[in-house]
Structure 1
Amino acid sequence: MEKNTTDPWAWGKYTNSVQAVEIKQPEGTLYCSGQVAIDANGQPVAGDMNAQLELTIRNLEQLITEAGYEPSGIVRLNVYTTSTQEFFTSCVQTYQTWIAKHGIKQATTMLEVKALFGGLTVELEATVVK
């Protein structure tokens, strides 16, 4: 796989994302359903948004690795949250640390939504390549 990123604006280096990702000759592409803070029995796990994000990340990582891919192969990451203000206030450090840990350079969209499954507050949807 050859991965090229494009981000023509200087402010892009502060967003922990890029404006476009080009993949040439991938071995495979994994399209992940949105992952949330649920336990192994499919039950929502209560907690503040940051605690939910931490479990959501673990769930997404488990899904990706069990499918034979790596988190570093994430090329698109959509974030759904019930409050963008709360996400930027309480979750940015967790999110940025995770992105940096895996060297992820992804195209990202963040959407504020009215509600998520089970009263949860954050969901991550990824496209991964290898």
Structure 2
Amino acid sequence: MTTERVNPPELSPPTGFSHAVVATGSRVVFLAGQTALDGDGKVVGETLPEQFERALTNLLTALTAVGGTPSDLARVTVYTTDVTAYRTHAPQLGSIWRQLAGRDYPAMAVVGIVRLWDEQALVELDGFAVLGDRPGPRAART
């Protein structure tokens, strides 16, 4: 799999995302929305950064289960119930992203919403990745 991050000079310089990602590979993985749910299905974390870290960890866990890595992410959408808080915490959220996923940013969007399925959830991440021909680990399938 190869990815090329494209950031045209005519556009505003991206911070924490890429304007376009060109990905070539043989496997496309669609990642379901992940919130800050723990293994028991309970939302953990009181603050947006705490929930963002858990939601991103959950997204990356699903990606790893199919043999992907953070650099395989082509697109991520962030849904938040408080865009103002997201902007306020953006430096901390960026630090969390770099710690867990590195600096190969996918194409991204942040969308403000009224609420999420779990009322305590403040943020949800979904996305898709493009993987090469390497086989993924056998994960539990239901």
User: TM-score, normalization: structure 2?
Assistant: 0.80
Is structure 2 residue 133 aligned with structure 1 residue 106?
no
Q: Distance in 1 between matches of 2:2 and 2:81?
A: 35
Question: Residue 40 of structure 1: CA displacement?
Answer: 0.7
Is structure 2 residue 72 aligned with structure 1 residue 78?
no
Aligned equivalent of 2:95: 97
**Partner SS state of residue 111, structure 1:** strand
RMSD over aligned Cα atoms: 1.7
| 1:75–1:104 contact (8 Å) kept in structure 2 | no
Q: Distance in 2 between matches of 1:46 and 1:2?
A: 35
- Give the 4+ runs in structure 1 shifted more than 4 A: none
- What are the superposed Cα offsets for residues 23-78 of structure 1, whole Å, 9 maximum, x if unpaired? 12x03111101100011122222411111111111111211111211112111010
Write 1 or 2 for the structure with the bigger share of helix: 1
User: TM-score, normalization: structure 1?
Assistant: 0.87
Structure 2 unmatched runs, 5+: 132-142
Which amino acid in structure 1 is aligned with residue 3 of structure 2?
A: K
Distance 1:118 1:27, change over 3 A: same
